[in-house]
Amino acid sequence: MERIYLDHNATTPLFQEVREIMALSLKNNFGNPSSTHYFGQKSRAAVEYARESVAKLINASPAEIIFTGGGTESDNTAIFGAVAASGVSEPHIITTVIEHPALLEACNCLEKRGCSITKIGADKYGRIRTEDVADSITSNTVLVSVMMANNELGTLQPLKEIAEALSETDILFHTDAVQCGGKHNIDVRELGVDLLSLSGHKMNGPKGVGVLYVKRGVIIPPYVMGGHQEKGIRAGTENVAAIEGLGAASEIWRNNYELAEKIKRLRDFFEKEVLENISGAVVNGSTEYRVCNTSNISFDNVDGGALVINLDLKGVCASSGSACFSGLAEPSRVLTALGCSPERAKGSVRFSLGINLEKKDISRAVTVISKAVHEIRSI
């Protein structure tokens, strides 16, 4: 059975060129980039080339790019680093209820250590209001962290507006842009952020490698300690092959903007077909402010978890926002935060598209989804 992969927000397949570059890197660039001899300097050059590629993708300068062990580590480094750098004895962080656990759990940990955290709610489309951020600022606020696009809904946030609201303050502004890497234009200067997280495996690069953009002049202490690598912010011998893979993926996305346009056309076609062919289907989140590949749909009288299993058996891979704890499916935390009823939240499935898909795959997926929804409803 030929399977159709519609779960690119969970992870993405490697670009073929990335696979080839990584294989060559594993063979040829084994040297430690910190070694001063030939082999070390060959690896160093490869890491610096990748740094330039990532910098170009987000309009940063290479000196502002720190390689990390993934999106989670980038988020943790930003949050813990911003608080430690502030020197404020009772720091306050403003974030949102719809952030990824990589962010929220770091904040929860800091809360136990005496920080106060304000988690702003979202409107029914999953959008954060800039006024809510501005109204939450206190004299102790050291950091605002608002994700660029939500992983369940794809909803984009008004980052530029929030940065403007913070412009007269010395509060650091971080964004988790993990779900935007490659497929959405990221210009750190235009956005006005101080810190930004990316992850290799969400942009057809490898797993276990990420980026923290740290704006020139912003000083944060290391989160991982024990060496001078990555400007002292992230100690540890660099994962050269993964970094080269992430650099190559950045270059491919930067030189092929039409890839994102194609994915958007397919996503819009997918959504139109689902809504036209399946009764009781409704799109969650904003359709106006949304990253190009994501479609979160609730189906009346259908359990999203059961639908995902049924689809998998039929060769379509998607994801349900609900988390299964001790056999009980909890409705998605994000959809609940938007004010969706528990039934609508439990009936939701996240379809996330990516490279290697064609219109015929989407048509076949819609036929399969229609059949699966019908089967579940008739039980």
Half-sphere exposure of 286 (CA within 13 A, CB side): 19
Q: And the tokens for 91?
A: 């720091």
Q: Is 324 a catalytic residue?
A: yes
Please report which helix (H) or strand (E) contains residue 93, including its range.
strand 92-96
Nearer to ligand PLP, 102 or 281 (CB): 102
Interaction pattern, residues 37-76, with ligand PLP; x per rule: CB under 6 A: ---------------------------------xxx--x-
Q: What are phi and psi of 295, to 5 degrees?
A: -140, 110
Q: Is 234 in the site for ligand PLP (CB under 6 A)?
A: no
Nearer to ligand PLP, 199 or 296 (CB): 199
Map the footprint of ligand PLP across residues 335-364, applying CB under 6 A: none
Answer for which of 176, 244, 251, 361 binds ligand PLP (CB under 6 A) is: 176
Half-sphere exposure of 1 (CA within 13 A, CB side): 13
Answer for which of 100, 174, 184, 290 binds ligand PLP (CB under 6 A) is: 100
Q: How far apart are CA 263 and CA 254, in angstroms?
A: 15
Half-sphere exposure of 100 (CA within 13 A, CB side): 26
Please name every residue paired with 119 in a beta bridge, in sequence order, or none if there are none: 95
Given the residues 107, 292, 324, 340, the one annotated as active site: 324
Answer for which of 29, 53, 130, 179 binds ligand PLP (CB under 6 A) is: 179
Cβ 185 to ligand PLP shortest distance, Å: 17
Give the ranges where the chain is alpha helix by DSSP (H): 16-28, 38-57, 71-86, 101-112, 130-136, 159-166, 188-191, 240-255, 258-277, 304-313, 333-337, 342-346, 359-377
Cβ 371 to ligand PLP shortest distance, Å: 29
Interaction pattern, residues 283-322, with ligand PLP; x per rule: CB under 6 A: ----------------------------------------
Q: How far apart are CA 312 and CA 201, in angstroms?
A: 22
Q: Is 147 in the site for ligand PLP (CB under 6 A)?
A: yes
Contact set with ligand PLP (CB under 6 A): 70-72, 75, 100, 102, 147, 151, 176, 178-179, 199, 201, 210
Q: Which residues are catalytic?
A: 324
